[in-house]
């Protein structure tokens, strides 16, 4: 009996494709540390085959599809994702480690983008101007690009791809997805659902792999555009490489999201928000709050409230209904995140809650566990503040004034998300105007926009000028064309009653 973990390949041409000759990576269950699957790392030749197949599918079928045909497939796909929401969530838990409620919420946020894309007949409308000159009309069209690619991170293996491919496909493109090699199963299952929904073979493709697969997509002459979400160094590489090859690019990078708490804030609400936004999904979110900026004497009152709430958090396997926070995605990532506690102490900060002391749940001693961590007396310039940690580590900075808080946030190179907690509407309006960040929450700790608004940050959190989903995505995945027309009427006089003849 073969007890080796199953091997995952790719999805090309509407069917699974094994790639046993290629190198393989390991997929772990973060709660146990066990290797549960192996995933193929595509060579450049496999990527070329995938793009060629996608190009043929786009040329032969999908570019000629009507808006009604596309929307019908999207509606069918939406129903299938809803029906399999729990299955997809459990796949995410098994490979990412987040708790089931969080994984289910991730799938739901992806569904909302699919629902928005179902309105493509309206979203892709052009404009018409009659009689711009004598007998001449002008009108605009938005047409698909061809084959487009998405390169997505481990932390949202369903939601982030669904930020991209529903609108790309709705606009008439073929889509090649390169998901994270750490948790690829959700993408392969989604490919099966697309096929069941009636999407023509080859219009949606999944290629698994590492840097070789990524670079092959960035350089491929038949890939017209690339969407990326990940760390800032890789986002910069994706943007630079793809644009050098003439591609349209939106590359979303890293973040260091602050929550500014003013003296008039509801501190109970702020403490709840800091814990939820700091430790949800074990802090492995690009919109997680990783730094609280306490203004005036707020820190003396707020830190004990946060510490009190941390004490009540349940950390455990994602399928345990009592668990509120799961393990980190890999052992290496856990060790890297935990190392920031020693760095913080060396820099003069104070560890209030040390998550390294947590006991692993019974039967899960080899999992990648790190409990919630709270660090106080952090100052700007310390590594724990300046760098993206991407784990359950919440830092508290104390400043004397509103202006000092704004300076703390604006001085960092990141500009993804931020929040302010206050009871003063004037202060909130000033904050939203002066802060150099792309997504702002007012008494909302994780201001992720709904599907019909665009998602994206500023500065080193975004390379390119177009954000994901919303109408920005419709523009990103299409190109404009303007037609000017004149028709001569040489039929002469016809005085009889008009008929179809």
Give me the average pLDDT of each 10-residue run along the chain (501 residues).
84 95 95 97 98 98 96 98 98 98 98 98 95 93 97 98 98 98 98 98 98 98 98 97 98 97 98 98 96 97 98 96 97 98 98 96 96 98 96 98 98 97 98 98 96 96 94 97 87 66 52
Q: Is the CB of residue 427 less than 8 Å from the CB of residue 406?
A: no
Place of tokens 């999805």: 11
**CA terminus-to-terminus distance, the chain:** 76
Which sign does the torsion angle of CA 286, 288, 290, 296 carry? positive
pTM of the shown model = 0.94
Catalytic residues: 286
Asked if residue 451 is part of any domain, the answer here is no
Residues 110 and 245 in one domain: yes
User: How far is residue 300's CA from residue 463's CA, in Å, rounded to a whole number?
Assistant: 39
Residues 38 and 96 in one domain: yes
User: What are the structure tokens assigned to 13, written together?
Assistant: 């041409």
Length of the chain: 501
Residues 278 and 241 in one domain: no
Asked if residue 2 is part of any domain, the answer here is no
Residues 78 and 134 in one domain: yes
Q: How many CA atoms lie within 13 A of 153 on its CB side?
A: 18
In the beta sheet, which residues pair with residue 10? 17
CATH of the domain at 182: 3.40.605.10
Residues 391 and 354 in one domain: yes
Residues 229 and 165 in one domain: yes
In the beta sheet, which residues pair with residue 206? 11, 177
Cα–Cα separations (whole angstroms), residue 368 to 28, 97, 338, 364: 10, 9, 11, 9
Residues 246 and 261 in one domain: no
Q: What angle do CA 182, 149, 227 make, to 5 degrees?
A: 80
Residue 240 contacts by C-beta under 8 Å, 6 or more apart in sequence? none
Asked if residue 362 is part of any domain, the answer here is yes
Q: How many C-beta atoms surround the C-beta of residue 147 within 10 A? A: 29
Query: Which has the closest alpha carbon to 227: 171, 298, 274, 162?
Result: 162
User: How far is residue 171's CA from residue 96's CA, in Å, rounded to a whole number?
Assistant: 31
- Number of domains the chain contains: 2
User: How far is residue 383's CA from residue 175's CA, in Å, rounded to a whole number?
Assistant: 38
Q: How many C-beta atoms surround the C-beta of residue 329 within 10 A? A: 25
Q: What per-residue confidence (pLDDT) applies to 495? A: 74
User: How far is residue 274's CA from residue 258's CA, in Å, rounded to a whole number?
Assistant: 10
Asked if residue 409 is part of any domain, the answer here is yes
Asked if residue 500 is part of any domain, the answer here is no
Residues 189 and 315 in one domain: no
CATH of the domain at 321: 3.40.309.10
Q: Is the CB of residue 217 less than 8 Å from the CB of residue 151?
A: yes
Domain ranges, residue 391: 257-442
User: What are the structure tokens assigned to 285, written together?
Assistant: 């979110």
Residues 45 and 183 in one domain: yes
Q: What per-residue confidence (pLDDT) applies to 491? A: 58
Residues 417 and 470 in one domain: no
Asked if residue 335 is part of any domain, the answer here is yes
Buried b / exposed e along 220-255 (16+ C-beta atoms within 10 A) = beebbbbbbbbbbebbebbbebbbeeebbbbbbbbb
Residues 349 and 419 in one domain: yes
User: How far is residue 260's CA from residue 268's CA, in Å, rounded to a whole number?
Assistant: 14
Residues 263 and 237 in one domain: no
Asked if residue 17 is part of any domain, the answer here is yes
């Amino acid at each position: 009996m073969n007890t080796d973990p199953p091997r995952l390949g790719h999805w090309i041409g509407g069917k699974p494709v094994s790639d046993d000759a290629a190198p393989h990576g390991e997929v772990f269950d973060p709660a146990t540390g066990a290797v549960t699957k192996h995933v193929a790392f595509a060579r450049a030749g496999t990527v070329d085959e995938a793009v060629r197949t996608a190009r043929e599918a786009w040329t032969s079928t999908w570019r000629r599809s009507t808006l009604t045909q596309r929307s019908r497939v999207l509606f069918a796909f939406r129903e299938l994702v809803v029906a399999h929401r729990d299955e997809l969530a459990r796949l995410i838990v098994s490979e990412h480690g987040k708790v089931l409620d969080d994984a289910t919420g991730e799938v739901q946020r992806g569904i909302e983008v699919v629902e928005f894309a179902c309105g493509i007949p309206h979203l892709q409308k052009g404009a018409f101007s009659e009689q711009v000159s004598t007998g001449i009309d002008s009108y605009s069209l938005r047409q698909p690009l061809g084959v487009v690619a998405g390169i997505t991170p481990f932390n949202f293996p369903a939601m982030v791809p669904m930020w991209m491919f529903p609108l790309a496909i709705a606009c008439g493109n073929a889509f090649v997805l390169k998901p994270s090699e750490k948790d690829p199963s959700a993408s392969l299952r989604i490919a099966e659902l697309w096929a069941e929904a009636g999407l023509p073979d080859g219009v949606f493709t999944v290629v698994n792999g590492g840097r070789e697969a990524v670079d092959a997509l960035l350089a491929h002459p038949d890939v017209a555009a690339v969407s990326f979400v990940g760390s800032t160094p890789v986002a910069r590489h994706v943007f630079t490489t793809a644009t050098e090859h003439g591609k349209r690019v939106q590359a979303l990078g890293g973040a260091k999201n602050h929550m500014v708490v003013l003296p008039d804030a509801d501190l109970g609400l702020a403490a709840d928000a800091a814990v939820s936004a700091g430790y949800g999904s074990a802090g492995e979110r690009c919109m997680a709050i990783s730094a609280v900026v306490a203004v005036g004497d707020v820190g003396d009152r707020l830190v004990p409230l946060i510490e009190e709430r941390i004490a009540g958090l349940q950390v455990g396997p994602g399928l345990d209904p009592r668990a509120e926070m799961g393990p980190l995605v890999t052992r290496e990532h856990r060790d890297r995140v935990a190392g920031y506690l020693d760095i913080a102490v060396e820099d003069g900060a104070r560890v209030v809650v040390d998550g390294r002391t947590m006991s692993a749940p019974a039967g899960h001693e080899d999992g990648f566990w790190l409990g919630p961590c709270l660090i106080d007396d952090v100052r700007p310039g310390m590594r724990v503040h300046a760098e993206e940690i991407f784990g359950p580590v919440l830092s508290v900075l104390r400043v004397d004034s509103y202006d000092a808080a704004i300076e703390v946030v604006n001085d960092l190179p990141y500009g993804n998300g931020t929040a302010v907690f206050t009871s003063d509407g004037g202060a909130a309006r000033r904050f939203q105007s002066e802060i150099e960040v792309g997504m702002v929450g007012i008494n909302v700790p994780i201001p992720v926009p709904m599907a019909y608004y665009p998602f994206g940050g500023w500065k080193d959190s975004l390379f390119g000028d177009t954000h994901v989903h919303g109408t920005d995505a419709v523009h990103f995945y299409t190109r404009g064309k303007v037609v000017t027309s004149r028709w001569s009427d040489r039929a002469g006089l016809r005085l009889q009653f008009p008929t179809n003849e």
